[in-house]
Amino acid sequence: MRTRHLLALAIGFGLFAGGVAYAQPPSGIVRPTDERGMSPLELGAQLFAGNCASCHGSDGAGVISPAQAGAGDVQGRGPPLRGVGAQAADFYLRTGYMPLDNAHEQPTRRRVQLTAPERRALVAYVASLAPGPGIPRPHPERGSVPEGMGLFTEHCAGCHQVVARGGVVSGARVPPLTKSSAVEIAEAVRIGPYVMPTFTKRAISDDELDSIIAYVQSVRRPPSAGGWGIGYVGPVPEGMVAWLIAGVALVIACAMIGTRLRG
C-alpha cells in the first residue's frame, strides 16, 4: 500500500518537473562549430549573432520595437550596444545577467554559461562596434573604508542597504553585493545596470570608488560583537527571532511548569 503511494507521488512529481522544464523558454548558448579556428573577433561576431542579436539587433543596433519573433521565438527588445564599450559587455556577461531568457525580466546573477575565451571574444566584439569605455581597473586596497562607508551611505545604501544586503525599490529587486567582485562594482557604478542610476566621475571619482569598493568588501562579514547578525538586514529578523522563537519558547515553558487550578 505504502509503496504504491510512493510510486504515485514519484510519477506525479516527474510529470510536474517535466511540465516545468517544458514551460521554460529555451536557454543555453548557441556556439559556432569550429571555435578553435576563429580569430577572437570572428568568434565574438558569431556568438553575438547567435545569442544576442535577436534583442540587440544585428551589429548591436538595438531592437526598439519588435517586428517579428527572432531566433528561438524570442520577442526581442533590447537597447543598442554601439558605444557601450567593453565595460558594459564585460559586466553583463561576467555576472551572468546576459543572455536573458525573457527581455521583460529583471536580469539576475546566474551561472555564466560562456567559457572564458568566449566571453573575452564577445566583449572584444561589442567593444569593436563603436568606441566606448574600457573595463575599469579599481584599486580597493588604496581606498579608505571609513570614507567608503560615508560615500556608500550617501549614494548606495538607500537601495542596496547599509551593509550591501540588497532589498527592493518599487518595481524592481535590488541585488545584494556580497558576491560582487571589485571590477563588477566599478563597472556597475559607471553603467547603472537595469534601473540603477549611473554615477559619473564627477559624482563619484575613481579614488572615491576605490573607497566604496573597500567598504563593500569589508562588510562581507561585518563585525557582530553584540550577537549573531541574522542576515544583517536590520531589526526585523531580530524581532522575529525574539517574538516567534523566544516568545513561543517562554510560553511553552510556562505551560509546562504551571499546574492548572482545578475546581
Partner 1 sequence: MRRFLNWVIGLAVLIGTLGRRRRRREPEEERIVPPGSASPRAEAVVILLLLTAAACAIAFIVVYAMDGLTDQTQLLGLTLGLSLGSLAAALIVFARRLIVTEEIAEEYPEPAHPDDQDALVEVVRESGDRLTRKRLLGTAAGAAGGALGLALLTPVASLGPALETGTFYRTPWVPGRRLVDDKGRPLSADDIEISDFYTAYPEGADPDQVPAPVVVVRLAPSQLELPPERSRWAPEGILAYSKICTHAGCAISLYRSPLFDPVQPGPALVCPCHYSTFNPASGGAVVFGPAGRPLPQLPLTIDPRRELRAGGNFSGPVGPSWWGVRKGKPT
**Interacting residues toward partner 1 by CB under 8 A:** 64-65, 77-79, 103-104, 157-159, 168-172, 191-200, 202-203, 225-228, 257, 261-263
Query: Can you tell me whether residue 8 is helix, strand or coil?
Result: helix
Least distance between partner 1 and beta carbon 171 (Å)? 4
Of 121 and 204, nearer to partner 1 (C-beta) is 204
Of 37 and 171, nearer to partner 1 (C-beta) is 171
Q: How crowded is residue 234: how many other Cβ atoms within 10 Å of its Cβ? A: 14
Least distance between partner 1 and beta carbon 145 (Å)? 20
Taking Cα atoms as reference points, which of 138, 151, 141 lies closest to residue 204?
151
DSSP assignment string, 237-257: HHHHIIIIIIIHHHHHHHHHH
Integer Cα distance of 224 and 213 in angstroms: 21
CB 194 within 8 A of CB 107: yes
Of 103 and 145, nearer to partner 1 (C-beta) is 103
Q: How crowded is residue 69: how many other Cβ atoms within 10 Å of its Cβ? A: 11
Least distance between partner 1 and beta carbon 58 (Å)? 18
Least distance between partner 1 and beta carbon 226 (Å)? 6
Of 39 and 205, nearer to partner 1 (C-beta) is 205
